[in-house]
Amino acid sequence: MALYTDGKVAFVASPTDAAQEAREALVARYGDAGLDNASIVVALGGDGLMLETLHKVMDRHVPVYGMNFGSVGFLMNEYGVESLDVRLRAAMPTTIHPLTMRVLDAEGNTREALALNEVSLFRSTYQAAKVEIRIDGDVRLEELTCDGVIVATPAGSTAYNLSAHGPILPITAPLLALTPISPFRPRRWRGAILSNRASITFLIREAQKRPVSAVADNIEFTNVLEVNVHEDRRHAVTLLFDPGHSLDERILVEQFRY
């Protein structure tokens, strides 16, 4: 699928010396159209920079091709200066729809944020959080006592969700992962796999005594009372991967690591 057709490429980089030097080399070789004018963006950094860049180009129909200068780089390709134009023309797109997180806080404010990886709830003090979980309006778990809970997209299922022992989801699966963080009671509950059409609501119990914060990727709201999460297909971003290095393939490989 030829996406790189007009040469309008922009380069963004994390602040590390290696990433900045790589950006200088690529700009000298291929030029830089600037983020506002680009038809494709090359991000040099780790998965954090990729998420930041995807949020910046949300709904602009500008695909993002990453080159890894981070510690994990799950969403990135390998770095190389040579034949970048050829790689961009051959790159395979993956479209991701974000989650919308809507929160009601203790002061009565309602706020929203988008998450491409996950929405996470965390206890804010030394005391465990107590959370009621509703799916499509029905109470499915009256009280989860835990350090927190995650709702992950397929793209985010290999991130924090995986470290919390949540399932890895194929990138094309119409699913979401609901994963507890250090659950105390019910002790044996390990989460659920939900339809991406599900509306997930968390009600915080004893919120004043056991305050909870809610985070959508890197946007945090504190002292929340209620959090609703659902996939929002009004918004979309596109990642680009080298052939044979697709997100589908990387998620499949990750499931057979030991």
When pLDDT is cut at 50, 70 and 90, the band that residue 171 belongs to is confident
Contact of 23 with 50, CB cutoff 8 Å:
no
pLDDT class for 61, splitting at 50, 70, 90?
confident
Give me the DSSP letters along 48-82: HHHHHHHHHTTTTT--EEEEE-SS--TT-BPP-ST
- CA–CA distance, 130 with 150 (Å, rounded to integer): 14
Q: Give yes or no for residue 189 having a pLDDT over 80.
A: yes
- What burial letters (b/e) apply to 203-230, b meaning 16+ CB within 10 Å? bbbebeebbbbbbbbeeebebbbbbbbb
Check whether residue 109 and residue 220 sit in a common domain: yes
Q: 80 is in which domain, residue-wise?
A: 9-96+236-255
Residues 83-107: what's their mean pLDDT?
94
Domains in the chain, number: 2
Q: What is the spatial distance between Cα 254 and Cα 147, in angstroms, rounded to a whole number?
A: 26
Are residues 225 and 108 both part of a single domain? yes
Does residue 186 fall inside a structural domain? yes
Catalytic residues: 47
Q: What is the pTM of this model?
A: 0.85
> Rounded distance, CA 216 to CA 99, Å?
8
| Confidence (pLDDT) at 84 | 93
Tokens at residue 60, please?
A: 């602009």
Strand partners, 139: 134
CATH of the domain at 62: 3.40.50.10330
Q: What tens digit of pLDDT does each residue of 203-233 get?
A: 999 999 999 999 999 899 999 999 999 999 9
With CA atoms as reference, report the closest residue to 229 among 109, 95, 138, 134. 134
Residue 181 sits in the same domain as residue 134:
yes
What is the rounded distance in angstroms from the CA atom of residue 17 to the CA atom of residue 208? 44
